[in-house]
Amino acid sequence: MNVRDSFDLTDRVCVVTGGAGLYGKPIAWALAEAGASVVIASRNAEHCQAAAAELVAEGYQAVGMRLDLGEETSIVRLVDDVVKRFGQLDVLVNNAVSREGFKTLDQMEKSEWEASQRINSTGLMLMTKYAVQHMVTNGKGVIINIGSIQGVVGPNFPVYGDTGMTSPVNYTYDKSAMVGFTKWLANYYGQYGIRANCISPGGYGPGVEERYGDNEFVSNYKRLTPLGRFADESDIKGPIVFLASEASRYVTGHNLLVDGGWTSW
């Protein structure tokens, strides 16, 4: 296979949870630009449909569908609808995350922790469970989990300075667990021709710099990152296409750090 052809996702159907959000949008665009039919899914169906319409307007294949990761019936319905519409489900990108109740341990209430886990743990598990059932039947498939550097290294609390910003305890918990979950999926489902990998990005500029400007945290983060900047919309696109495509056909159980070198110190 020609190396350029190995990145081609034509005739692949990809589901991106949280695909209308800050990180979900460039992920969806990358897959569509590589030739895939992209299903953008989240609780806000209108946002998903609008994001899909932007892709369609540029000549790409995309649809928006509603998905509530807190409801098992919604997850089952989405997978069934995708398979009925396209006849297949080739790539699942678990990108959605609930940020409700993101607090430090001393601030966290039991109800807030459980509400977060309903989406970030149970929802992740169920979405993967029902998608992978179809992949097993089909004899192939790709799962890509969107983690974080917080799932690899502990939070560097001094980087926040006097801004009042901090790193929530459940985010580190969720993203650390996601790496282990990815490895379990890779090792168990490899026999069925299914690959599972994780991408752990560092700080994302559109979600931080545009909100906080050049405050103490922003300047500290840039100073402590070897490449000297936050990630932008383009930095996730190459890794996503690589892991979704035949270019990474012998890569599974891997956690790809896309962090400008933050974790390499």
Q: How far apart, in whole angstroms, are the C-alpha atoms of residue 238 and residue 244?
A: 10
Under a CB-based contact definition with an 8 Å cutoff, are residues 216 and 157 in contact?
Answer: no
The secondary element (H helix, E strand) that includes residue 216 is helix 216-223
pLDDT digits over 13-41, tens only?
999 999 999 999 999 999 999 999 999 99
Strands (E) across the chain are located at 13-17, 37-42, 61-66, 91-94, 141-146, 194-201, 255-258
Q: What is the structure's pLDDT at 211?
A: 87
Residue from 171, 189, 204, 221 carrying the catalytic annotation: 171
Residue 101 has pLDDT above 80, yes or no: no
Q: What is the structure's pLDDT at 64?
A: 98
Q: How far apart, in whole angstroms, are the C-alpha atoms of residue 110 and residue 228?
A: 38
What is the four-CA torsion angle of 72, 63, 175, 199, rounded to 10 degrees?
140
pLDDT digits over 111-120, tens only?
999 999 999 9
The secondary element (H helix, E strand) that includes residue 199 is strand 194-201
Model-wide pTM > 0.85:
yes
Tokens of 121: 């743990």
Residue 121 has pLDDT above 90, yes or no: yes
Task: Specify the CATH number of the domain 5-155+169-207+233-259.
Answer: 3.40.50.720
Q: What is the CA radius of gyration of the chain?
A: 18
Q: How far apart, in whole angstroms, are the C-alpha atoms of residue 85 and residue 15?
A: 13
171 given a catalytic annotation? yes
Domain ranges, ordered by start, for the chain: 5-155+169-207+233-259
The pLDDT confidence band at residue 243, using thresholds 50, 70 and 90, is very high
Across residues 171-187, what is the average pLDDT? 97
Q: How far apart, in whole angstroms, are the C-alpha atoms of residue 265 and residue 243?
A: 25
